[in-house]
A = this chain, B = another copy of it.
Amino acid sequence: MSKYRIGIVGATGYTGSELVRILLYHPSVEIAAITSESYQGKLFSEVHPQFQDIFEPKLISIYDLPEDLDLVFLALPHGVSMDFIADHKDAKYKIVDLSGDFRLSGKDVYEKWYQKEHKFESGFEQAVFGLPELFREKIKPAKLIANPGCFPTSATLALAPLLKNGLIDPEHIIVDSKTGVTGAGIKPRENTHFPVVNDNFIAYGLKTHRHTIEIQETLSAFSGGHCTILFTPHLLPVDRGILSTCYSKPKEKVDEEQLNKLYRDFYKDEFFVRVSNDIPHLKKVRGTNHCDVHVSYDDRTNTIITIGVIDNLVKGAAGQAIQNMNLLLGLEEKSGLQSVPIQP
């Protein structure tokens, strides 16, 4: 059986290398082309030496991307993806865009939160938000997928069952998230310098982080009503992983057992979401496409605490993109994505 031909646009960053890491052993696809403007002409393994002797194709320019591909992943920065999509709107291949360019509801909200002009407004109508556990049926026939952000994936899966069932006050939801440093990208910056991050911890982006609105719009769309999210990210001295601690207020009396049952029912057919009795930690999902969710109820303060844990580069980026690819190509959803965390 011939394999689906896949293109990866943007090989330089962590998302690009992570896509390759997972796709290499996928049984039904082959990486037919991989691009990088800054490294074109070099071998992929010159940029990511861990692929020495394993995967060493030559990187090509985005302008040389072949047309006869079945699907293209865009691992491009925000603002660059929209140009590619506008330019290739008649291409035959499907696109999974890992940037934030088409995740929100429209141009206005994008420009407000991204502080950047949006140049391809009509793309918003085409794009489907690629969180399979919540929007699977919309994803399958889509041509353009807006692959979710890392924080939104963890928070949305941790809160969706509560909002969908109308159990909590939608206007008072707090998401306190903690992420590993790969979320900030491969390019060295002052705030990712080892002596700055190591043995340290800090909050950032208070009140204004772009994922705030993505979480809010996604949960609103899924639950069919408005909600308001307060979101605070923090930077952990770890490579990978996001843990989001979510606080919400039940509208009526609940108990923990009932909530646990609700979560287990809600996710009972989901391979990648594991509801766990123990509090999950980052290493339990590292390198995998799992999202581990824990739910707890504090009757003393009448607060529901839900925790969602993912690997930000897998379920929060490349893995989820491949999950979407499987849906778009009619493959088994977990194909190529079954793996055990490397722990420790």
User: Which A positions have Cβ atoms within 8 angstroms of B?
Assistant: 14, 17, 20-21, 24-25, 48-55, 172, 174, 176, 178, 180-182, 186-190, 192-204, 206-207, 228-230, 232, 234, 236-241, 243, 245, 247, 274, 276, 278-287, 292, 296, 298, 300-301, 303, 305, 307, 338-344
Contact = CB atoms under 8 A, between A and B. Distances in A.
A240 B239 CA distance: 14
Most central of A14, A195, A240, A298 by chain B CB within 10 Å = A195
B52 A239 contact: no
A181 B200 contact: no
Contacts of A51: 340
Given A192-B195, A198-B198, A203-B245, 9 more contacts: A21-B342, A25-B339, A50-B340, A178-B178, A181-B195, A196-B344, A202-B243, A203-B279, A206-B298
A256 to B, nearest CB: 10
Nearest to A235: B281
A301 B230 contact: yes
29 contacts: A14-B195, A24-B340, A48-B343, A49-B276, A50-B285, A50-B340, A50-B341, A51-B340, A52-B292, A176-B245, A181-B195, A182-B344, A186-B193, A188-B190, A192-B195, A194-B198, A197-B198, A199-B240, A199-B286, A200-B282, A201-B238, A203-B307, A204-B279, A228-B300, A230-B301, A230-B303, A237-B237, A240-B342, A247-B247
Contacts of A193: 186-188, 192-194
B54 A340 contact: yes
B305 A207 contact: yes
Contacts of A48: 343
Contacts of A245: 176, 203, 232, 234
Contact of A301 (B202, B228, B340): B228
